Amino acid sequence: MKYFLKRTWWLNKYKKFIALPWPELCFKSIPWFLVFAILWKGGKGLETTWLLTLLAWMLTFVYWKKKPDEESVPSYLWIGIVLFVFLTIASFLNSSTANYGLDEVLRTGSLALIFFWVIRNGSGADWFNRLVNVVVVTMLIAGIIGLFVYIFQPVNRFVGTFFDYRFHTDYWPNAWADLLLVTWPLVMLWALKEKRLQNMILRFLVVGLFVGFLYLSFSRGALISFVGQLILWAVIVFNKYWKKD
């Protein structure tokens, strides 16, 4: 009797677990993971790798469970991503310099799975706008934390949250600069969407703050890439308005 009751209890718990709104949880889990990964040592810790792997497999499982007929992904994207994952694995297995570890392999594979999920499910405007807002707020918090680190810690480069508080030598300014290169266009998009002049000015001040964070990282490669981004943006804008005329 006790065995039967215990089995029934576990079965009920399992049914409730399966009945959870998993697609909605998937949409919410990505922004929350971004917040954790950016603010907690810049995603450097092993715990971030395991959470990323768990998130990737959860998204993949939920998608295949709800949509058994797989939607098409452009072949060039599929081939490129899969090839990159295989090259990462090959580098891990054969590289004599050991530049890639198991962490990098897990992260690359997990990010590939998340990328495919976003292509199929994350194209909605509402979800993208929420994601942009989360990125802006999280990066602003990371920048404020990094400002205190820049002022009070013995490091002469801006690192944001890309440091390990336990060790005075574990700072990663180049990684912080790379993240800024990816996110500042989203911040610019967030600023340009504002229609009221006063709020737009405030948002562009935030954009300027991000550019300052990038400059203080003193990452030469990132600064060169930033100039390239500006040139590319100018070409795109000029081409757009030239076609209109």
pLDDT along the chain (245 residues), means of 10: 55 61 76 91 84 88 68 80 90 76 87 86 75 93 92 85 78 92 93 89 93 93 94 88 70
Angle between helix 220-244 and helix 197-216 axes, rounded to 10 deg: 150
Distance CA 181, CA 210 (A): 10
Record the tokens describing residue 96, joined without a space: 């004599």
Q: What angle do CA 236, 239, 245 make, to 5 degrees?
A: 145
pTM of this structure: 0.82
Q: Would you give the distance in Å from CA 151 to the centre of its chain? A: 27
pLDDT score at 225: 95
pLDDT score at 70: 56
Distance CA 38, CA 191 (A): 21
Residue 148 CB coordination number (10 Å)? 9
Tracing tokens 């790379």 back to the chain, one arrives at 178
pLDDT tens-digit series, residues 9-20 = 556 665 665 656
